[in-house]
Structure 1
Protein backbone atom coordinates (compact mmCIF):
# COMPACT_ATOMS: atom_id res chain seq x y z
CA UNK A 1 0.00 0.00 0.00
CA UNK A 2 1.49 3.32 -1.08
CA UNK A 3 1.85 5.98 1.61
CA UNK A 4 2.10 9.07 -0.63
CA UNK A 5 -1.50 9.04 -1.96
CA UNK A 6 -2.78 8.57 1.59
CA UNK A 7 -0.74 11.55 2.80
CA UNK A 8 -1.97 13.61 -0.14
CA UNK A 9 -5.58 12.70 0.61
CA UNK A 10 -5.13 13.70 4.26
CA UNK A 11 -3.48 16.96 3.19
CA UNK A 12 -6.57 17.93 1.17
CA UNK A 13 -9.00 18.49 4.08
CA UNK A 14 -6.23 19.98 6.24
CA UNK A 15 -5.44 22.63 3.62
CA UNK A 16 -9.10 23.42 2.92
CA UNK A 17 -9.92 23.75 6.62
CA UNK A 18 -6.86 25.94 7.20
CA UNK A 19 -7.91 28.10 4.27
CA UNK A 20 -11.38 28.62 5.75
CA UNK A 21 -10.20 29.23 9.32
CA UNK A 22 -7.43 31.61 8.29
CA UNK A 23 -9.51 33.24 5.54
CA UNK A 24 -6.84 32.25 3.03
CA UNK A 25 -8.50 31.08 -0.21
CA UNK A 26 -5.11 30.16 -1.65
CA UNK A 27 -4.70 27.39 0.93
CA UNK A 28 -8.14 26.00 0.16
CA UNK A 29 -7.42 26.01 -3.56
CA UNK A 30 -4.08 24.30 -2.91
CA UNK A 31 -6.07 21.61 -1.13
CA UNK A 32 -8.25 21.18 -4.21
CA UNK A 33 -5.15 20.84 -6.39
CA UNK A 34 -3.87 18.17 -4.02
CA UNK A 35 -7.20 16.35 -4.42
CA UNK A 36 -6.80 16.47 -8.20
CA UNK A 37 -3.34 14.92 -7.75
CA UNK A 38 -4.88 12.14 -5.66
CA UNK A 39 -7.45 11.36 -8.35
CA UNK A 40 -4.73 11.33 -11.03
CA UNK A 41 -2.11 9.64 -8.84
CA UNK A 42 -1.66 6.42 -10.83
CA UNK A 43 -1.25 8.05 -14.28
CA UNK A 44 0.90 10.79 -12.73
CA UNK A 45 3.21 8.16 -11.23
CA UNK A 46 3.31 6.17 -14.50
CA UNK A 47 4.03 8.91 -15.74
CA UNK A 48 1.45 9.79 -18.37
CA UNK A 49 1.85 13.15 -20.15
CA UNK A 50 -1.92 13.67 -20.35
CA UNK A 51 -2.21 13.32 -16.56
CA UNK A 52 0.44 15.94 -15.95
CA UNK A 53 -1.23 18.18 -18.51
CA UNK A 54 -4.54 17.81 -16.65
CA UNK A 55 -2.83 18.63 -13.35
CA UNK A 56 -1.30 21.80 -14.83
CA UNK A 57 -4.63 22.72 -16.41
CA UNK A 58 -6.37 22.14 -13.07
CA UNK A 59 -3.84 24.37 -11.35
CA UNK A 60 -4.36 27.11 -13.90
CA UNK A 61 -8.14 26.87 -13.56
CA UNK A 62 -7.95 27.04 -9.78
CA UNK A 63 -5.62 30.05 -10.02
CA UNK A 64 -8.18 31.77 -12.24
CA UNK A 65 -10.96 30.92 -9.77
CA UNK A 66 -8.96 32.50 -6.96
CA UNK A 67 -9.72 35.88 -8.52
CA UNK A 68 -13.45 35.29 -8.99
CA UNK A 69 -16.56 34.76 -6.89
CA UNK A 70 -16.73 31.16 -8.12
CA UNK A 71 -13.93 30.12 -5.76
CA UNK A 72 -16.35 29.24 -2.97
CA UNK A 73 -18.29 26.85 -5.19
CA UNK A 74 -15.10 25.07 -6.22
CA UNK A 75 -14.22 24.62 -2.54
CA UNK A 76 -17.71 23.37 -1.67
CA UNK A 77 -17.99 20.92 -4.56
CA UNK A 78 -15.90 17.98 -3.23
CA UNK A 79 -17.69 18.03 0.14
CA UNK A 80 -20.90 17.28 -1.75
CA UNK A 81 -19.57 15.19 -4.63
CA UNK A 82 -17.52 12.73 -2.54
CA UNK A 83 -20.28 11.60 -0.12
CA UNK A 84 -22.84 11.65 -2.95
CA UNK A 85 -20.65 9.38 -5.09
CA UNK A 86 -19.97 7.02 -2.18
CA UNK A 87 -23.65 6.88 -1.24
CA UNK A 88 -24.49 6.07 -4.86
CA UNK A 89 -21.78 3.38 -5.00
CA UNK A 90 -22.90 1.65 -1.80
CA UNK A 91 -26.59 2.20 -2.43
CA UNK A 92 -26.55 0.89 -6.01
CA UNK A 93 -25.12 -2.41 -4.77
CA UNK A 94 -28.23 -2.89 -2.59
CA UNK A 95 -30.54 -3.20 -5.59
CA UNK A 96 -32.33 -6.47 -6.22
CA UNK A 97 -30.13 -9.00 -7.97
CA UNK A 98 -26.88 -7.31 -6.93
CA UNK A 99 -24.44 -8.24 -4.21
CA UNK A 100 -24.00 -5.55 -1.54
CA UNK A 101 -20.60 -3.92 -1.79
CA UNK A 102 -19.38 -4.91 1.68
CA UNK A 103 -20.68 -8.46 1.16
CA UNK A 104 -18.59 -8.71 -2.00
CA UNK A 105 -15.47 -7.46 -0.23
CA UNK A 106 -16.05 -9.83 2.71
CA UNK A 107 -16.57 -12.75 0.34
CA UNK A 108 -13.31 -11.99 -1.49
CA UNK A 109 -11.48 -11.76 1.84
CA UNK A 110 -12.76 -15.23 2.70
CA UNK A 111 -11.71 -16.91 -0.50
CA UNK A 112 -15.01 -16.59 -2.36
CA UNK A 113 -17.32 -18.00 0.34
CA UNK A 114 -19.48 -15.99 2.75
CA UNK A 115 -21.44 -17.58 5.58
CA UNK A 116 -25.20 -16.81 5.57
CA UNK A 117 -25.08 -14.90 8.87
CA UNK A 118 -22.24 -12.73 7.57
CA UNK A 119 -24.12 -12.17 4.31
CA UNK A 120 -27.05 -10.71 6.26
CA UNK A 121 -24.75 -8.63 8.46
CA UNK A 122 -22.68 -7.23 5.59
CA UNK A 123 -25.85 -6.24 3.75
CA UNK A 124 -26.97 -4.32 6.83
CA UNK A 125 -23.50 -2.79 7.08
CA UNK A 126 -23.70 -1.65 3.46
CA UNK A 127 -27.03 -0.01 4.29
CA UNK A 128 -25.43 1.71 7.30
CA UNK A 129 -22.57 3.15 5.23
CA UNK A 130 -25.01 4.30 2.56
CA UNK A 131 -27.05 6.14 5.19
CA UNK A 132 -23.88 7.65 6.71
CA UNK A 133 -22.76 9.09 3.37
CA UNK A 134 -26.26 10.43 2.64
CA UNK A 135 -26.22 12.14 6.05
CA UNK A 136 -22.82 13.69 5.34
CA UNK A 137 -24.13 15.05 2.03
CA UNK A 138 -27.32 16.48 3.57
CA UNK A 139 -25.51 18.14 6.48
CA UNK A 140 -22.87 19.68 4.20
CA UNK A 141 -25.55 21.00 1.85
CA UNK A 142 -27.57 22.42 4.75
CA UNK A 143 -24.59 24.24 6.25
CA UNK A 144 -23.67 25.69 2.85
CA UNK A 145 -27.25 26.87 2.33
CA UNK A 146 -27.29 28.47 5.79
CA UNK A 147 -23.97 30.20 5.17
CA UNK A 148 -22.35 28.51 8.17
CA UNK A 149 -18.98 28.15 6.46
CA UNK A 150 -16.90 27.67 9.61
CA UNK A 151 -19.18 24.83 10.74
CA UNK A 152 -19.27 23.41 7.22
CA UNK A 153 -15.48 23.25 7.14
CA UNK A 154 -15.25 21.72 10.63
CA UNK A 155 -17.81 19.08 9.68
CA UNK A 156 -16.57 18.15 6.22
CA UNK A 157 -12.83 18.51 6.75
CA UNK A 158 -12.50 17.23 10.31
CA UNK A 159 -15.53 15.63 11.93
CA UNK A 160 -16.55 13.47 8.96
CA UNK A 161 -13.10 11.85 8.86
CA UNK A 162 -13.16 11.29 12.63
CA UNK A 163 -16.63 9.74 12.32
CA UNK A 164 -15.50 7.42 9.53
CA UNK A 165 -12.50 6.28 11.57
CA UNK A 166 -14.65 5.66 14.64
CA UNK A 167 -17.23 3.77 12.60
CA UNK A 168 -14.51 1.53 11.17
CA UNK A 169 -13.05 0.85 14.63
CA UNK A 170 -16.38 0.30 16.39
CA UNK A 171 -17.69 -1.93 13.62
CA UNK A 172 -14.55 -4.07 13.66
CA UNK A 173 -14.78 -4.53 17.43
CA UNK A 174 -18.50 -5.32 17.26
CA UNK A 175 -18.00 -7.80 14.42
CA UNK A 176 -15.34 -9.70 16.34
CA UNK A 177 -17.66 -9.85 19.36
CA UNK A 178 -20.81 -10.69 17.36
CA UNK A 179 -19.21 -13.35 15.15
CA UNK A 180 -16.36 -14.97 17.12
CA UNK A 181 -16.77 -18.18 15.12
CA UNK A 182 -15.56 -16.47 11.95
CA UNK A 183 -12.05 -15.18 11.14
CA UNK A 184 -11.71 -11.41 10.82
CA UNK A 185 -8.81 -9.69 9.14
CA UNK A 186 -7.28 -6.50 10.44
CA UNK A 187 -7.88 -3.06 8.97
CA UNK A 188 -4.72 -2.98 6.82
CA UNK A 189 -5.49 -6.41 5.36
CA UNK A 190 -8.99 -5.17 4.60
CA UNK A 191 -7.63 -2.12 2.75
CA UNK A 192 -5.24 -4.34 0.76
CA UNK A 193 -8.15 -6.58 -0.25
CA UNK A 194 -10.16 -3.57 -1.42
CA UNK A 195 -7.17 -2.29 -3.41
CA UNK A 196 -6.63 -5.69 -5.07
CA UNK A 197 -10.32 -5.91 -5.87
CA UNK A 198 -10.22 -2.46 -7.53
CA UNK A 199 -7.23 -3.46 -9.64
CA UNK A 200 -8.86 -6.70 -10.84
CA UNK A 201 -12.23 -5.08 -11.60
CA UNK A 202 -10.99 -1.74 -12.91
Structure 2
Protein backbone atom coordinates (compact mmCIF):
# COMPACT_ATOMS: atom_id res chain seq x y z
CA UNK A 1 0.00 0.00 0.00
CA UNK A 2 1.06 3.60 -0.52
CA UNK A 3 0.42 6.59 1.69
CA UNK A 4 0.25 9.15 -1.10
CA UNK A 5 -2.99 7.97 -2.69
CA UNK A 6 -1.27 7.16 -5.97
CA UNK A 7 -1.41 3.70 -7.51
CA UNK A 8 2.01 1.97 -7.59
CA UNK A 9 3.94 3.11 -10.64
CA UNK A 10 1.88 6.26 -11.15
CA UNK A 11 2.93 8.68 -8.38
CA UNK A 12 5.27 11.68 -8.71
CA UNK A 13 8.33 9.53 -7.99
CA UNK A 14 7.39 7.12 -10.78
CA UNK A 15 6.76 10.05 -13.13
CA UNK A 16 10.15 11.56 -12.30
CA UNK A 17 11.82 8.18 -12.87
CA UNK A 18 10.07 7.81 -16.23
CA UNK A 19 11.28 11.23 -17.34
CA UNK A 20 14.81 10.45 -16.13
CA UNK A 21 14.91 7.12 -17.98
CA UNK A 22 13.42 8.69 -21.10
CA UNK A 23 16.07 11.42 -21.10
CA UNK A 24 18.88 9.01 -20.23
CA UNK A 25 18.21 6.66 -23.14
CA UNK A 26 19.28 8.93 -26.04
CA UNK A 27 22.33 10.09 -24.03
CA UNK A 28 23.50 6.54 -23.34
CA UNK A 29 22.66 5.45 -26.88
CA UNK A 30 24.66 8.37 -28.27
CA UNK A 31 27.64 7.52 -26.04
CA UNK A 32 27.47 3.92 -27.25
CA UNK A 33 27.59 5.13 -30.85
CA UNK A 34 30.40 7.63 -30.32
CA UNK A 35 32.55 5.11 -28.47
CA UNK A 36 31.38 2.08 -30.45
CA UNK A 37 31.03 0.39 -27.07
CA UNK A 38 28.62 -2.48 -26.50
CA UNK A 39 28.48 -1.99 -22.73
CA UNK A 40 27.03 1.51 -23.13
CA UNK A 41 24.52 0.10 -25.61
CA UNK A 42 23.54 -2.62 -23.15
CA UNK A 43 23.10 -0.03 -20.39
CA UNK A 44 20.88 2.13 -22.63
CA UNK A 45 18.71 -0.85 -23.50
CA UNK A 46 18.52 -1.96 -19.87
CA UNK A 47 17.19 1.48 -18.94
CA UNK A 48 14.63 1.18 -21.71
CA UNK A 49 13.55 -2.19 -20.33
CA UNK A 50 13.04 -0.63 -16.87
CA UNK A 51 11.01 2.16 -18.46
CA UNK A 52 8.70 -0.30 -20.23
CA UNK A 53 8.28 -2.47 -17.12
CA UNK A 54 8.09 0.29 -14.52
CA UNK A 55 4.41 -0.12 -13.62
CA UNK A 56 4.40 -3.90 -13.10
CA UNK A 57 7.76 -3.62 -11.31
CA UNK A 58 6.25 -1.09 -8.90
CA UNK A 59 3.32 -3.47 -8.37
CA UNK A 60 5.84 -6.21 -7.53
CA UNK A 61 4.69 -8.47 -10.33
CA UNK A 62 6.96 -11.53 -10.30
CA UNK A 63 6.84 -11.93 -14.09
CA UNK A 64 8.06 -8.33 -14.58
CA UNK A 65 11.04 -8.84 -12.28
CA UNK A 66 11.81 -12.14 -14.03
CA UNK A 67 11.69 -10.42 -17.44
CA UNK A 68 13.94 -7.61 -16.21
CA UNK A 69 16.51 -10.02 -14.76
CA UNK A 70 16.49 -12.14 -17.93
CA UNK A 71 16.79 -9.05 -20.15
CA UNK A 72 19.63 -7.65 -18.03
CA UNK A 73 21.58 -10.92 -18.16
CA UNK A 74 21.05 -11.16 -21.92
CA UNK A 75 22.17 -7.57 -22.46
CA UNK A 76 25.22 -8.07 -20.24
CA UNK A 77 26.16 -11.08 -22.36
CA UNK A 78 25.53 -9.20 -25.62
CA UNK A 79 27.44 -6.17 -24.35
CA UNK A 80 30.71 -7.72 -25.41
CA UNK A 81 29.60 -8.10 -29.03
CA UNK A 82 28.33 -5.90 -31.88
CA UNK A 83 24.81 -7.24 -31.37
CA UNK A 84 24.19 -4.89 -28.45
CA UNK A 85 24.78 -1.89 -30.68
CA UNK A 86 22.61 -3.39 -33.43
CA UNK A 87 19.71 -3.60 -30.98
CA UNK A 88 19.90 0.19 -30.59
CA UNK A 89 18.70 0.45 -34.18
CA UNK A 90 15.23 -0.82 -33.24
CA UNK A 91 13.79 1.71 -30.70
CA UNK A 92 13.95 4.79 -33.02
CA UNK A 93 11.87 2.81 -35.51
CA UNK A 94 9.54 0.86 -33.24
CA UNK A 95 8.55 3.51 -30.70
CA UNK A 96 7.58 6.27 -33.19
CA UNK A 97 5.54 3.66 -35.09
CA UNK A 98 3.72 2.59 -31.94
CA UNK A 99 2.86 6.18 -31.03
CA UNK A 100 1.89 6.95 -34.63
CA UNK A 101 -0.45 3.96 -34.57
CA UNK A 102 -2.01 5.33 -31.37
CA UNK A 103 -2.72 8.63 -33.14
CA UNK A 104 -3.96 6.96 -36.34
CA UNK A 105 -6.15 4.42 -34.53
CA UNK A 106 -8.01 7.23 -32.76
CA UNK A 107 -9.10 8.53 -36.18
CA UNK A 108 -11.10 5.37 -36.94
CA UNK A 109 -14.88 5.52 -37.08
CA UNK A 110 -16.44 5.69 -33.64
CA UNK A 111 -13.21 6.87 -31.95
CA UNK A 112 -12.36 10.29 -30.53
CA UNK A 113 -9.15 11.69 -32.09
CA UNK A 114 -6.32 11.63 -29.58
CA UNK A 115 -5.54 15.36 -29.74
CA UNK A 116 -9.27 16.10 -29.45
CA UNK A 117 -9.40 14.14 -26.19
CA UNK A 118 -6.51 16.15 -24.78
CA UNK A 119 -8.00 19.49 -25.82
CA UNK A 120 -11.44 18.50 -24.53
CA UNK A 121 -9.92 17.71 -21.14
CA UNK A 122 -8.02 21.02 -21.03
CA UNK A 123 -11.07 23.05 -22.01
CA UNK A 124 -13.34 21.14 -19.63
CA UNK A 125 -11.05 22.01 -16.71
CA UNK A 126 -11.49 25.69 -17.59
CA UNK A 127 -15.22 25.28 -18.27
CA UNK A 128 -14.74 26.43 -21.86
CA UNK A 129 -16.63 24.99 -24.86
CA UNK A 130 -14.89 23.15 -27.69
CA UNK A 131 -15.95 24.89 -30.91
CA UNK A 132 -16.62 22.94 -34.14
CA UNK A 133 -13.63 24.68 -35.76
CA UNK A 134 -11.33 23.58 -32.95
CA UNK A 135 -12.73 20.05 -33.12
CA UNK A 136 -11.90 19.89 -36.85
CA UNK A 137 -8.45 21.32 -36.20
CA UNK A 138 -7.64 18.78 -33.48
CA UNK A 139 -8.74 15.93 -35.72
CA UNK A 140 -6.45 17.13 -38.52
CA UNK A 141 -3.64 17.67 -36.03
CA UNK A 142 -4.02 14.08 -34.81
CA UNK A 143 -3.54 12.91 -38.38
CA UNK A 144 -0.56 15.24 -38.81
CA UNK A 145 1.19 13.81 -35.74
CA UNK A 146 0.55 10.29 -37.04
CA UNK A 147 2.15 11.31 -40.34
CA UNK A 148 5.16 13.04 -38.75
CA UNK A 149 5.92 10.10 -36.48
CA UNK A 150 5.50 7.59 -39.31
CA UNK A 151 7.88 9.64 -41.45
CA UNK A 152 10.34 9.74 -38.57
CA UNK A 153 10.16 5.96 -38.22
CA UNK A 154 10.71 5.53 -41.96
CA UNK A 155 13.78 7.82 -41.89
CA UNK A 156 15.19 5.93 -38.91
CA UNK A 157 14.59 2.62 -40.69
CA UNK A 158 16.50 3.90 -43.70
CA UNK A 159 19.37 4.98 -41.44
CA UNK A 160 19.33 1.61 -39.65
CA UNK A 161 19.62 -0.15 -42.99
CA UNK A 162 22.47 2.13 -44.10
CA UNK A 163 24.60 2.03 -40.93
CA UNK A 164 28.05 0.49 -41.29
CA UNK A 165 29.56 -1.78 -40.28
CA UNK A 166 26.69 -3.15 -38.18
CA UNK A 167 23.54 -1.97 -39.94
CA UNK A 168 20.72 -4.13 -41.23
CA UNK A 169 21.98 -4.38 -44.81
CA UNK A 170 25.58 -4.94 -43.73
CA UNK A 171 24.42 -7.75 -41.44
CA UNK A 172 23.20 -9.59 -44.55
CA UNK A 173 26.38 -8.89 -46.50
CA UNK A 174 24.91 -6.09 -48.62
CA UNK A 175 26.56 -2.73 -49.22
CA UNK A 176 24.28 0.24 -48.42
CA UNK A 177 23.78 2.72 -51.23
CA UNK A 178 24.38 5.62 -48.82
CA UNK A 179 26.43 4.30 -45.87
CA UNK A 180 26.42 6.16 -42.55
CA UNK A 181 28.67 5.63 -39.55
CA UNK A 182 27.48 4.79 -36.03
CA UNK A 183 28.09 8.40 -35.04
CA UNK A 184 26.10 9.81 -37.97
CA UNK A 185 23.24 7.44 -37.26
CA UNK A 186 23.21 8.51 -33.62
CA UNK A 187 23.17 12.24 -34.37
CA UNK A 188 20.06 11.64 -36.46
CA UNK A 189 18.26 9.04 -34.32
CA UNK A 190 19.14 10.38 -30.86
CA UNK A 191 19.44 14.12 -31.45
CA UNK A 192 17.82 15.29 -34.69
CA UNK A 193 14.66 13.25 -34.02
CA UNK A 194 13.96 15.27 -30.88
CA UNK A 195 14.69 18.48 -32.77
CA UNK A 196 12.17 17.54 -35.46
CA UNK A 197 9.50 16.67 -32.89
CA UNK A 198 10.18 19.84 -30.89
CA UNK A 199 10.18 21.97 -34.02
CA UNK A 200 6.86 20.57 -35.20
CA UNK A 201 5.38 21.11 -31.73
CA UNK A 202 6.58 24.73 -31.62
CA UNK A 203 5.33 25.47 -35.15
CA UNK A 204 1.94 23.94 -34.44
CA UNK A 205 1.62 25.86 -31.17
CA UNK A 206 2.32 29.13 -32.99
CA UNK A 207 -0.31 28.34 -35.64
CA UNK A 208 -2.85 27.30 -33.02
CA UNK A 209 -2.26 30.49 -31.03
CA UNK A 210 -3.13 32.55 -34.09
CA UNK A 211 -6.17 30.51 -35.07
CA UNK A 212 -7.63 30.13 -31.57
CA UNK A 213 -6.69 33.10 -29.37
CA UNK A 214 -9.29 32.16 -26.75
CA UNK A 215 -7.75 29.25 -24.87
CA UNK A 216 -7.43 27.99 -21.28
CA UNK A 217 -3.68 28.64 -21.01
CA UNK A 218 -1.60 31.82 -21.23
CA UNK A 219 1.54 30.61 -23.02
CA UNK A 220 3.49 27.49 -23.97
CA UNK A 221 4.81 26.99 -20.44
CA UNK A 222 1.32 27.27 -18.97
CA UNK A 223 0.09 24.88 -21.68
CA UNK A 224 2.59 22.24 -20.54
CA UNK A 225 1.67 22.89 -16.92
CA UNK A 226 -2.04 22.49 -17.66
CA UNK A 227 -1.36 19.23 -19.50
CA UNK A 228 0.52 17.92 -16.47
CA UNK A 229 -2.45 18.77 -14.26
CA UNK A 230 -4.66 16.40 -16.24
CA UNK A 231 -3.16 13.72 -14.01
CA UNK A 232 -1.37 10.39 -14.48
CA UNK A 233 -4.62 8.43 -14.91
CA UNK A 234 -5.57 10.51 -17.95
CA UNK A 235 -2.20 10.01 -19.63
CA UNK A 236 -2.07 6.34 -18.70
CA UNK A 237 -5.36 5.68 -20.45
CA UNK A 238 -4.83 8.00 -23.41
CA UNK A 239 -3.21 5.51 -25.79
CA UNK A 240 -5.16 2.48 -24.60
Q: Distance in 1 between matches of 2:41 and 2:114?
A: 32
Does residue 63 of the first structure (1) align with residue 76 of the second (2)? yes
Residue 101 of structure 1, CA deviation: 0.8
For 1:170, the equivalent position in structure 2 comes to: 203
More helix by share: 1
For 2:161, the equivalent position in structure 1 comes to: 145
For 2:233, the equivalent position in structure 1 comes to: 196
Residue 199 of structure 1, CA deviation: 4.0
CA gap of 1:200–1:95, structure 2 versus 1, over 3 A, is: closer
Q: Distance in 1 between matches of 2:137 and 2:59?
A: 39
Q: Distance in 1 between matches of 2:73 and 2:53?
A: 16
The SS at the match of 1:98 is: coil
Which residue, 89, 94, 114 being the options, matches 1:81?
A: 94
Residue 172 of structure 1, CA deviation: 2.5
Q: Distance in 2 between matches of 1:160 and 1:114?
A: 32
Does residue 154 of the first structure (1) align with residue 209 of the second (2)? no
CA gap of 1:171–1:196, structure 2 versus 1, over 3 A, is: farther
For 2:215, the equivalent position in structure 1 comes to: 182
Which residue, 24, 29, 40 being the options, matches 1:16?
A: 29
Contact 1:105 1:194 survives alignment (8 Å): no
Gaps of 5+ in 1: none
Contact 2:38 2:80 survives alignment (8 Å): no
Which residue, 134, 147, 151 being the options, matches 1:131?
A: 147
Residue 67 of structure 1, CA deviation: 4.0
CA RMSD for the aligned pairs? Answer: 2.2
Q: Distance in 1 between matches of 2:58 and 2:159?
A: 37
Bigger Cα Rg? 2
Q: Distance in 2 between matches of 1:170 and 1:89?
A: 22
Q: Distance in 2 between matches of 1:13 and 1:73?
A: 15
CA-to-partner distance for each residue in 1:62-107, whole Å, 9 max, x for gaps? 1222244533432111111101111111111122332211111111
Residue 196 of structure 1, CA deviation: 2.8
Q: Distance in 2 between matches of 1:194 and 1:143?
A: 37
Gaps of 5+ in 2: 1-11, 164-179
The SS at the match of 2:215 is: coil
The SS at the match of 2:98 is: helix
Q: Output the TM-score relative to the length of structure 1.
A: 0.88
Q: Output the TM-score relative to the length of structure 2.
A: 0.76
- More deviation, 82-91/150-159: 150-159
